[in-house]
Amino acid sequence: MLRICYSENESVQRWLVSGQLAGPWVQEMRSCWEQASQRANCGRVVDLTDVTFVDQSGETLLADMRNAGVEFIVAGVETRYLIDNLKAQAETVAAGLEQTSSAARCGAPRVTKDHGENYRETHQATTKANGKPGRHK
């Protein structure tokens, strides 16, 4: 079972969520969040202090909310770990996208696997016998 209490003012929308964010209740929470998000463009806070369980679909919803800029209030080790893990995943994805786009722009070398555990950079600059920089094939 899930209880969702919603309130808003000029500066913030708040959801107080209690119970289990699992099964069909995830869709109910998503529906409430999407409807309210369309009405106002302000801060969003979700209080998960009284949430007792989150399943995989609930985690997906929380990740979507996190990506949309929602702030969470949490209590309890498991819920705090879940939200911290969502933050770390978002930062890792953002850093990976930034590195990928910057590597593509700069023509950075790609790393490929070569003979088991040995790695080498392709297109690595090497010095030819005459001392001039060249490309390794």
Residue 6 DSSP label: E
Q: What is the pLDDT of residue 41?
A: 77
Query: What average pLDDT score do residues 121-132 get?
Result: 41
Q: What is the pLDDT of residue 4?
A: 93
pTM of the model: 0.63
pLDDT tens, residue by residue, 90-99? 666 666 655 5
Q: Using CA atoms, how far apart are residues 54 and 48, in angstroms rounded to an integer?
A: 10
Q: Using CA atoms, how far apart are residues 82 and 30, in angstroms rounded to an integer?
A: 18
Domains along the sequence of the chain with CATH: 2-126 (3.30.750.24)
